[in-house]
Amino acid sequence: MYTSLLDSDVLAGSNNRRPASLFIGMRGQLPVVVIVGGGFGGLAAAKALKRARANVILIDRTNHHLFQPLLYQVATSVLTPGQIGSPIRNILRKQKNTTVLMGEVTRVETAEQCVVVSDADRAEVRLPYDYLVLATGATHSYFGHDEFKKHAPGLKTLADAVAIRNRILSAFELAEAEEDPRLHRDLLTFVLVGAGPTGVEMASAISVLVRGALRSEYRRIDPTSARIVLIDQSPRVLGSFSEDLSMAAKERLTKLGVEVLNGQSVEHIDEAGVIVGGERIASHTVIWTAGVKPSPAAKWLNAPADRAGRVRVEPDLRVPGHREIFVVGDTASLDQNGKPLPGVAQVAMQQGRYAGRLIARQIAGKPPLRPFRYFDKGNMAVVGKGYAVLQSGRVHVSGLLAWMVWAAIHLQFLATSSLRISVFLQWVWTYLTGQRGSRLIVDHHGPEPAVTPDEPGTQLVNSLGGGFRVQ
Ligand SMILES: Cc1cc2nc3c(=O)[nH]c(=O)nc-3n(C[C@H](O)[C@H](O)[C@H](O)COP(=O)(O)OP(=O)(O)OC[C@H]3O[C@@H](n4cnc5c(N)ncnc54)[C@H](O)[C@@H]3O)c2cc1C
């Protein structure tokens, strides 16, 4: 993958750094801008550098840009993975100054101005930079209880969404095959830990799924009897929204049959369910929709960090003491009006765009930009079919109108026009018919179904979370 780069003696462990000369003979002596992360922040930075006289190198551990706000729709079968992700190199195909590399950055050598990258082919490749933009996002946080992870997967990547979809659909398959009706209840109990936007959207989407597409397809179980429990230690759902919208969302959830347990924290999670307030809720499917923690960028840079571990950046998004390094998005910490900016896509996009433009201006010898300022366009969350809550300044709206604004904005921010068309058509189809984009249980890494040779005629059907015998 790094063939052209690896041929250079600046790479592969050499300390003989020649930052601006990486592409000598290929594109002339241009500054090298390395962007780590092809999410909202990194992609915006790369696009802002489109006309810069620079060699831009964007590195991501995956080959795709992911529209995370719609992950819950993949997890609940509305959309397919391919409808919310696009290959980064396809998005940037017309940007001739930009090279896209798939690899995992494992550290930054600030003194040498190198990022260290590994991929399946090569480990610890050194890639020099003149400017560096770190946009490596965040991952789940189990608040010191990493043992919960095994039983309560989180939702951050496409693989997470497909794994959760497998789990939800498998629960119905297992219940249908289970002859003891007393076990149906546990199999059809879905617990979501965390009632922020992701928890609320997931809980309501599961409710719509069981009442719609699944309703008439089973013979031994009634999918509409599924129990959906949403737990949060804060006193209300959607804590970052105003109180009236939070109340409206809770009312809507209750109408959808979701049990909301506010002011309660989860004490324990295991394969049999969760313990909340000393009581066990037996469940086959627990989903973690609570906290996130930033990427280890602050550790890579040995830079000052906030309590969550995000890099404390200067008002122009640079890292203190490093004029050539910028950190943007979920992995950066910046206060505005005395409050830290939230970890949302708009902040990441606006910061990425700002960092890219600032670098482009510096390369062109133009004066710098004014300090970064976030323009808050508002918050939205979906609560079931045709219903959303929207808060933008003093405007607070809930219901169908808010959902239509939500749909329009989400379509607009999908990465390519083909995704916009595909998602729009899918939504119209699902809205009208209740039919879903993909209800397949696809266990990419699971064991093959096996036949035990000493028991002829017995087939062991394997499924996520256990197997059952069909005689
Ligand atoms: C389920 C879910 C729902 C959400 N819903 C909303 C919403 O409705 N509205 C909203 O505004 N925000 C929402 N968010 C938050 C929003 O998605 C993030 O704030 C945003 O993605 C942050 O952008 P970013 O560029 O900082 O990071 P990301 O978009 O997460 O991108 C980080 C990129 O860096 C790559 N990367 C990470 N580490 C490395 C490494 N070491 N080497 C190479 N590559 C690396 C990752 O593969 C990824 O592509 C949601 C998030 C989730 C998880």
pLDDT in tens, 365-380: 999 999 999 999 999 9
Helix axes 243-255, 197-211, angle to 10 degrees: 20
Nearest-angstrom CA–CA distance, 300 and 310: 12
Q: 443 alpha carbon to ligand 1 midpoint, in Å?
A: 24
Partners of 184 in the β-ladder: none
Q: 264 alpha carbon to ligand 1 midpoint, in Å?
A: 28
Neighbouring C-alpha atoms within 13 Å toward the C-beta of 289: 29
**Full pLDDT tens readout for the chain, 471 residues:** 333 443 333 333 333 344 333 433 344 589 999 999 999 999 999 999 999 999 999 999 999 999 999 999 999 999 999 999 999 999 999 999 999 999 999 999 999 999 999 987 889 999 999 999 999 999 989 998 999 999 999 999 999 999 999 999 999 999 999 998 889 999 999 999 999 999 999 999 999 999 988 888 999 999 999 999 999 999 999 999 999 999 999 999 999 999 999 999 999 999 999 999 999 999 999 999 998 899 999 999 999 999 999 999 999 999 999 999 999 999 999 999 999 999 999 999 999 999 999 999 999 999 999 999 999 999 999 999 999 999 999 999 999 999 999 999 999 999 899 999 999 999 999 989 888 888 999 877 665 555 444 444 333 333 333 333 322
pTM: 0.89
Given the residues 147, 173, 176, 201, the one annotated as active site: 201
Which atom in ligand 1 lies closest to the alpha carbon of residue 137? 27
pLDDT of residue 445: 64
What does DSSP say about strands 131-134 and 322-327: parallel, antiparallel, or unpaired?
parallel
User: Which residue lies with its CA nearest to atom 3 of ligand 1?
Assistant: 69
Ligand 1 pocket mutation pick from 58, 66, 68, 390 by most atoms within 8 angstroms of CB: 68
Q: 161 alpha carbon to ligand 1 midpoint, in Å?
A: 14
| Burial of residue 220 (number of CB atoms within 10 Å: 0-12, 13-18, 19+) | exposed
Q: 314 alpha carbon to ligand 1 midpoint, in Å?
A: 21
Ligand 1 pocket mutation pick from 2, 344, 376, 413 by most atoms within 8 angstroms of CB: 344
Which atom in ligand 1 lies closest to the alpha carbon of residue 330? 26
User: Which residue lies with its CA nearest to atom 51 of ligand 1?
Assistant: 68
Nearest-angstrom CA–CA distance, 375 and 315: 14
pLDDT of residue 443: 78
Task: Tell me the C-alpha to C-alpha distance, in Å, between residue 236 and each of 230, 242, 246, 427.
Answer: 11, 10, 7, 29
- Residues with a CB atom less than 6 Å from ligand 1: 36-42, 59-62, 68-69, 71-72, 104-105, 135-137, 155-156, 197-198, 295, 329-331, 343-346, 348
Say which amino acid occupies 455: E
pLDDT of residue 463: 33
Ligand 1 pocket mutation pick from 133, 136, 310 by most atoms within 8 angstroms of CB: 136
What does DSSP say about strands 64-66 and 104-109: parallel, antiparallel, or unpaired?
unpaired
Nearest-angstrom CA–CA distance, 5 and 177: 55
201 is known as an active-site residue: yes
Q: 40 alpha carbon to ligand 1 midpoint, in Å?
A: 7
Q: 154 alpha carbon to ligand 1 midpoint, in Å?
A: 13
User: Which residue lies with its CA nearest to atom 21 of ligand 1?
Assistant: 345
pLDDT of residue 182: 85
Residue pLDDT, tens place only, 67-89: 999 999 999 999 999 999 999 99
Which atom in ligand 1 lies closest to the alpha carbon of residue 380? 8
Q: 44 alpha carbon to ligand 1 midpoint, in Å?
A: 13
